[in-house]
C-alpha cells in the first residue's frame, strides 16, 4: 500500500503509541489480579518475569531474521497480532499458567522494538536522526503512561477484565495503522546487512558489555518494583485500582523529561559515572523505604521520585552502551543491549517473588535496595579503573 511519507510517519507514530499502550494498560493490576486468580507470589514473579524472558531470547534472532529476509513490515505486524492475542487471552482465560503464557506473548509483541525504532527513523530520513530517536522514545513514554493511567481508571470504575479488552482493541487499531506503512528496506538499499562478524565485533566492545550488564541490575530493580510488586504494597495499605494505576503512571511520567536530562544536563554537569550513581541512589533509597510506608499519598509520591531515577538510568545506560560505536553497527549494538537487559526483566521478578514467598515482600524490597547499592559500588570501581587506565596512557 503506497501512502505519502508524511502520512506513513504519522501512522507509524500512532502505531508505536498503541503498541506500548496495549501491553501496559493492564500492568497496574496484573500482579494483584493474578493473586486473585490463585497465583502464589512466586508464580506472580514468573508471570511478570516472562515478559522480559521472551525478549531476552528473541530480540537478537528477530533482528537477524529481519535483516536476512530484508523485511521489517511483517515483524511489525506480527508484534501487533501478538498484542491482540495476549489481551484476548487475559480476558477469556484466568488460570495462572495461561496468564503466564499470555504475558509471554506480550513480551514477544515488543521483542521487535528495535525494528519499530529503525522503521520510524528511516521514515524520518532527511530529518535530524537524534531528534527522530528522541521522538520514538517520547512516543514510547506516551503509550506507556497513557496505558497505565487509563488502565487504573478502567479497573476502578468499570472492571479489571475490561483493561484486557482495551489492550486487544489497541493492538487491533495498531495493526490497521501498520497496513499504511510500506516496507522500509526499499528506502534503505545501501545499508550494510548485519553479518556474524558484525555481531562478534560488537559483542567484544567493553563499554557495551559493561553498561549492558549494569542495565541487567537496573531492570532487576525496576521490573520487580515499579512495574512489579509496588501495586501489591499499595493493596496492602488499602489502595484501590485507580490509585494503583496512578502510582504506575507517576513512576512512568518522569521518564519523559528525565531521559533528555540524563544525556544532556546530568552527563555534562556530573559525567556519566556520577549521573549513574545519582540514578541508582534514587532507586536504591526508594526500595529501602517502600515497604515501610503506610500512607497511600506518600507511596505515590515516592513512586514519582523513583520514576525519576528510572528515567535517568534508562537513557544514560543506553547512551553509554551504544553511542560511541560507529553508525553502521549501532543498531546491532542496540539489539544486543536490549536483549541483555531483558535478563534483568526476566530474573528480577522471579527472584523477588521467590524471596517474598520464602520470607516476606518487605525482605524482597530490601534485596532490591541492596541491588542498587551493589550497582553504585560497581560504577565506582569501574570509574576508578578507567581513570587508572587513562593515567597510564598519558604517562606512556
pLDDT of residue 262: 75
Digit-coded pLDDT (tens) for 192-202: 555 667 667 77
CA distance linking residue 118 with residue 132, whole number of Å = 10
So what's the architecture of 194-396 in CATH? Answer: Up-down Bundle (1.20)
CA distance linking residue 367 with residue 287, whole number of Å = 8
Hey, is 285 helix, strand or coil? helix
pLDDT of residue 319: 80
Indicate the pLDDT class of residue 21, thresholds 50, 70 and 90. very high
Cβ atoms of 277 and 254 within 8 Å: the answer is no
Indicate the pLDDT class of residue 318, thresholds 50, 70 and 90. confident
User: Which DSSP state fits 274?
Assistant: H
Q: Which of 225, 373, 357 is nearest to 303 (CA)?
A: 225
Helix pair angle (327-358, 113-123), 10° resolution? 150
pLDDT of residue 201: 77
Task: Indicate the CATH number for domain 1-184.
Answer: 1.20.1250.20
pLDDT of residue 329: 64
Digit-coded pLDDT (tens) for 328-369: 566 677 778 888 888 898 889 889 989 998 999 999 999 999
CA distance linking residue 119 with residue 26, whole number of Å = 27
Place of cell 506518600: 298
Q: Residue 396's CB: how many other CB atoms inside 10 A?
A: 5
Q: What is 80-108 written as a DSSP string? A: HHHHHHHHHHHHH---HHHHHHHHHHHHH
pTM, two decimals, is 0.77
CA distance linking residue 230 with residue 220, whole number of Å = 14
CA distance linking residue 194 with residue 66, whole number of Å = 10
Per-residue pLDDT at 2 exceeds 60 = no
Helix pair angle (361-395, 267-289), 10° resolution? 160
pLDDT of residue 198: 67
User: Which DSSP state fits 2?
Assistant: -
Indicate the pLDDT class of residue 222, thresholds 50, 70 and 90. very high
Per-residue pLDDT at 215 exceeds 70 = yes
Segment 231-254 shows an average pLDDT of: 88
Strand partners, 127: 125
Q: Which three cell numbers stand for residue 102?
A: 499470555
CA distance linking residue 65 with residue 206, whole number of Å = 26
Q: Which of 353, 360, 349 is nearest to 291 (CA)?
A: 360
Residue with more model confidence, 189 or 154: 154
User: Which DSSP state fits 193?
Assistant: P
Q: What is 142-184 written as a DSSP string? A: HHHHHHHHHHHHHHHHT-HHHHHHHHHHHHHHHHHHHTTSPPG
User: Which DSSP state fits 225?
Assistant: I
Q: Which of 253, 303, 249 is nearest to 29 (CA)?
A: 249
HEC sequence for 4-30: CHHHHHHHHHHHHHHHHHHHHCCHHHH
pLDDT of residue 187: 47
Hey, is 307 helix, strand or coil? helix
| Burial class, 264, CB count within 10 angstroms (exposed 0-12 / middle 13-18 / buried 19+) | exposed
What percentage of the chain has pLDDT greater than the value 70? Answer: 90
CA distance linking residue 199 with residue 301, whole number of Å = 43
pLDDT of residue 188: 47
pLDDT of residue 324: 75
Per-residue pLDDT at 260 exceeds 80 = no
Residue 73 CB contacts under 8 Å (≥ 6 apart), including other chains: 178, 181, 182, 183, 184
What percentage of the chain has pLDDT greater than the value 90? Answer: 47
Hey, is 134 helix, strand or coil? helix
What is the end-to-end Cα distance of the chain in Å, rounded?
61
pLDDT of residue 219: 94
- In the chain, where does the domain assigned CATH 1.20.1250.20 lie? 1-184, 194-396
Place of cell 479488552: 165
Average pLDDT, the chain: 86
Amino acid at each position: 500500500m503506497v501512502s505519502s511519507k508524511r502520512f506513513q510517519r504519522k501512522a507509524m507514530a500512532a502505531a508505536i503509541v498503541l503498541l506500548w499502550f496495549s501491553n501496559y494498560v493492564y500492568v497496574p493490576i496484573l500482579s494483584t489480579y493474578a493473586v486473585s486468580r490463585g497465583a502464589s507470589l512466586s508464580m506472580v514473579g514468573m508471570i511478570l518475569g516472562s515478559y522480559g524472558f521472551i525478549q531476552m531470547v528473541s530480540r537478537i534472532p528477530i533482528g537477524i531474521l529481519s535483516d536476512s529476509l530484508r523485511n521489517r513490515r511483517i515483524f511489525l505486524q506480527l508484534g501487533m497480532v501478538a498484542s491482540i492475542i495476549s489481551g484476548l487471552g487475559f480476558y477469556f482465560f484466568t488460570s495462572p499458567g495461561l496468564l503466564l503464557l499470555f504475558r509471554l506473548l506480550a513480551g514477544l509483541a515488543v521483542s521487535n522494538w528495535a525494528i519499530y525504532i529503525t522503521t520510524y527513523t528511516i521514515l524520518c530520513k532527511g530529518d535530524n536522526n537524534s531528534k527522530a530517536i528522541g521522538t520514538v522514545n517520547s512516543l514510547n513514554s506516551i503509550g506507556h503512561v497513557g496505558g497505565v493511567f487509563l488502565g487504573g481508571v478502567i479497573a476502578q470504575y468499570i472492571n479489571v477484565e475490561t483493561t484486557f479488552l482495551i489492550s486487544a482493541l489497541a493492538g487491533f487499531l495498531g495493526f490497521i495503522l501498520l497496513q499504511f506503512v510500506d516496507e522500509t528496506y526499499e528506502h534503505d538499499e545501501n545499508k550494510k546487512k548485519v553479518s556474524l562478524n558484525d555481531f562478534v565485533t560488537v559483542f567484544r566492545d567493553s563499554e557495551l558489555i559493561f553498561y549492558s550488564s549494569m542495565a541487567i541490575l537496573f531492570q532487576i530493580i525496576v521490573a520487580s518494583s515499579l512495574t512489579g510488586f509496588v501495586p501489591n504494597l499499595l493493596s496492602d495499605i488499602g489502595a484501590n485500582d485507580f490509585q494503583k494505576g496512578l502510582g504506575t503512571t507517576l513512576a512512568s511520567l518522569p521518564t519523559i523529561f528525565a531521559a533528555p536530562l540524563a544525556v544532556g544536563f546530568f552527563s555534562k554537569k556530573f559525567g556519566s559515572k556520577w549521573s549513574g550513581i545519582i540514578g541508582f541512589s534514587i532507586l536504591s533509597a526508594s526500595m529501602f523505604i517502600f515497604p515501610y510506608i503506610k500512607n497511600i499519598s506518600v507511596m505515590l509520591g515516592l513512586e514519582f521520585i523513583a520514576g525519576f531515577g528510572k528515567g535517568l538510568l534508562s537513557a544514560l545506560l543506553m547512551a553509554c552502551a551504544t553511542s560511541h560505536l560507529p553508525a553502521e553497527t549501532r543498531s546491532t549494538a542496540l539489539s544486543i543491549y536490549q536483549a541483555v537487559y531483558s535478563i534483568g526483566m526476566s530474573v528480577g521478578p522471579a527472584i523477588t517473588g521467590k524471596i517474598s514467598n520464602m520470607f516476606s515482600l518487605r525482605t524482597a524490597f530490601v534485596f532490591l535496595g541492596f541491588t542498587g547499592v551493589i550497582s553504585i559500588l560497581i560504577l565506582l570501581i569501574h570509574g576508578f579503573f578507567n581513570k587508572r587506565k587513562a593515567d597510564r596512557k598519558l604517562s606512556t
